[in-house]
Amino acid sequence: MTSARFADRAFHLLGLTVLVLALGMLGALLVDVARDGLGRVSWSFLTGYPSRRASASGLLPALAGSLWLVGLTALMAVPVGVGAAIGLEEYGGRGRLARLAEVNIANLAGVPSVVYGLLGLGVFVQVLRWDRSLLAGAGTLALLILPIVIITSREALRGVPASVREASLALGATKWQTVWHQVLPMALPGLLTGLILAVSRALGETAPLIVIGALSYVPFVPDGPRSPFTALPIQIYTWVSRPREGFRANAAATILVLLAVLLVINGLAIVARDRAARRRSA
Amino acid sequence: MSRLAQRARERVIEGGLAVCAGLSLVTTAGIVAVLTWETVAFFRDVSPLAFFTGRTWTPLFFNQQFGVLPLVAGTLLVAAIALATAVPAGVISALYLSEYAPPRVRRVAKPALEVLAGIPTVVYGYFALLFVTPWLQQWIPGLTGYNALAAGLVLGVMVLPLVSSLSEDALSAVPPGLREAAFALGATRLQAAVGVVLPAAWSGVSAAVILAMSRAIGETMIVAIAAGQQPRLTASPLVPIETMTAYIVQVSLGDVPAGTTAYRTIFAVGTLLFAGTFVLNLCSDWLRRRVPGAVR
């Protein structure tokens, strides 16, 4: 075997090794968290309130806070994001303004999340006086995921063939009738998947919430959008920073809950896509 | 519906959609406005020269010093370790996936790498502090509990999927004719990949690397948890340091009263962070737009 052939084989092996190592890291992470935290996951942990004693602590306020946050964030970001995507994709011309909006959205997607926290702190907390409420947190997260919502929605809309629009317009439908009755239903599977994935980003975000001043000790379940709150990632961070062993087990258990919620949401995305695709073909 | 009413409705909807699209411009304007407002106020109290060239950062102490260099050094150190991990691993796995891997492997490996990118960063922080650091301490005696090394390595794992998938996109966009020409001349897959495909995809791969750098600089939770909170001007990856992002988190968690100079530091540091990542993102975007396969 010539040396060039040998190098070729060696690189093949190297590539495979790197890939296996990267995925091995994922495996190590999951095993490590499961080993540390599985023993703490119980019904009383899920439905309990934070406590100074690690073994008596629960994460109900964080769990409820996270669900509130995701719901409110979706409520704010989805209509605006899909609207913006339709505006840019279906109505937007090739003008300078459309181009500017496009470059701007790509740039916003690259802004560090902690900077969105500073934006939320300046606008929602200080100027609008929403304080450290769920509303301020959700508003911040909505702005954070908006570029992702717009980008994925535009991709879904782009997947609808132009002939569908032309046929609808040729039959005398208006632009909006075409979008509402033809384009949106056809783009629905892609839209749903993209939207769910974007919204699930909001679930794992920590830094912006800390910056707007979300509390780390909340012994109650939020009762409305103006309520102060904590969230699963913040709870994880608080418990990781405590030096005592028991709190770290709590952090690991909370990570398991967070990953489980993410898994369920991503599963929903797949189911939603499949069902929407089936309904269309029926 | 009358013709006129229908036309009015169409106009209203179109206007509404335009407002939605415009909101993203308002977001950018908002970020710039908030950062500028507070940073200008900050520089009324602290001279820019002291901020950019000072070597001590102690805004929270009695003897306040506002030299941002230790935070910048900490950020760059962690980012450098992350890139030293993610760039070789990412480019090699991209070359493997685009030039070697059978479709079956690619179908499994790509979504698996996406999972790596979807894990919340606070989880990576936990992993860096409580798994990677203790493991590294077995081999490196002087390693402290908080350090740049573990944080940087885990950060590298986090940005690896980004480098890999963007590089792979760039490699796959190289016209097959170039590869075939190399094969026809008797090149092996490696010779074609490294000698022809990689140089042709150069701009796309650099775009991926620069974007990864921007992500590494802006990432917060991994470094806030695992790298420590001690601003220190050092190149040693073994001791606690503090990054710009971790500092913002530290102040946010404390009880620094709003309106003080110490409080405004987070906006000054945030502005620096925003400006740095913005320039990197623009560079990356510009490189990505270049035609793939164009011979330099």
My answer on whether B223 and B110 are in the same domain is yes
Confidence check: pLDDT of A71 > 60 = yes
My answer on whether B139 and B254 are in the same domain is yes
The whole-angstrom distance between B138's CA and the closest CA on chain A is 17
pLDDT value of residue A144: 93
- pLDDT, one tens digit per residue, over A94-113 is 677 778 888 888 888 889 99
My answer on whether B81 and B39 are in the same domain is no
The whole-angstrom distance between B81's CA and the closest CA on chain A is 16
**Dihedral of the alpha carbons of B236, B238, B240, B243, in degrees to the nearest 10:** 60
Average pLDDT in the A241-258 region? 85
My answer on whether B40 and B177 are in the same domain is no
Using the structure block, give the residue that is written with the tokens 């839209």: A191
pLDDT value of residue B1: 62
Please tell me which residue of chain B has the smallest CA distance to A87: B17
Q: Would the CB atoms of A112 and B278 count as touching at under 8 Å?
A: no
Domain assignment of residue B53, yes or no: no
Residues of chain A numbered 39-68 and touching chain B (CB < 8 Å)? none
pLDDT value of residue A280: 61
Whether the CA torsion A239, A245, A249, A252 is positive or negative: it is positive
My answer on whether B216 and B78 are in the same domain is yes
My answer on whether B41 and B159 are in the same domain is no
Average pLDDT in the A235-240 region? 89
- CATH code, A44-281: 1.10.3720.10
Domain assignment of residue B55, yes or no: no
Q: What is the extent of the structural domain holding B16?
A: 3-45
Task: Report the amino acid identity of residue A263.
Answer: L
How far is the C-alpha of A212 from the C-alpha of B266, rounded, in Å? 12
Confidence check: pLDDT of A217 > 80 = no
Domain assignment of residue B62, yes or no: no
pLDDT value of residue B280: 92
Task: Report the amino acid identity of residue B212.
Answer: A
Domain assignment of residue B82, yes or no: yes
My answer on whether B26 and B136 are in the same domain is no
For B140, phi and psi rounded to 5 degrees?
-115, 105
pLDDT value of residue B296: 45
pLDDT value of residue A281: 60
In CATH, what number is assigned to the domain containing residue B237?
A: 1.10.3720.10
My answer on whether B101 and B144 are in the same domain is yes
Rg (CA), chain B: 24
Residue A32: its chain B contacts at CB < 8 A? 127, 130-131
Using the structure block, give the residue that is written with the tokens 């010539």: A2
Domain count, chain B: 2
The series of mean pLDDT values per 10 residues for chain B, 296 residues long, is 82 87 88 91 88 85 84 93 94 91 86 85 92 90 89 94 91 90 90 90 91 93 90 86 91 83 90 93 85 51
Say if A214 is an interface residue toward chain B (CB within 8 Å): no
Average pLDDT in the A215-220 region? 74
My answer on whether B26 and B93 are in the same domain is no
Domain assignment of residue B251, yes or no: yes
Domain assignment of residue B296, yes or no: no
My answer on whether B108 and B15 are in the same domain is no
My answer on whether B213 and B126 are in the same domain is yes
Residue A7: its chain B contacts at CB < 8 A? 188, 190
Q: Would the CB atoms of B109 and A23 count as touching at under 8 Å?
A: yes
pLDDT value of residue B260: 85
Q: Would the CB atoms of A240 and B18 count as touching at under 8 Å?
A: no
Residues of chain A numbered 61-100 and touching chain B (CB < 8 Å)? 79-81, 83-84, 86-88, 91-92, 100
Q: Take residue A128 and report the two structure tokens written for it.
A: 């609008």
Instruction: Please give the mean pLDDT across all residues of chain A.
Output: 86
In this structure, are residues B237 and A71 in contact, taking their beta carbons and an 8 Å threshold? no
How far is the C-alpha of B104 from the C-alpha of A191, rounded, in Å? 27
Inter-axis angle of helices B69-95 and B148-172, to 10 degrees? 40
How far is the C-alpha of A116 from the C-alpha of A132, rounded, in Å? 15
**For residues A272 and A199, which has the higher predicted lDDT (pLDDT)?**
A199
Task: Pick the residue of B6, B24, B158, B280 with the most A CBs within 10 A to test the interface with A by mutation.
Answer: B24
- pLDDT, one tens digit per residue, over A47-56 is 878 777 777 7
Predicted TM-score of the model (pTM): 0.90
Q: Would the CB atoms of A258 and B37 count as touching at under 8 Å?
A: no
My answer on whether B207 and B152 are in the same domain is yes
ipTM of the complex: 0.89
What distance lies between CA B149 and its chain's CA centroid?
17
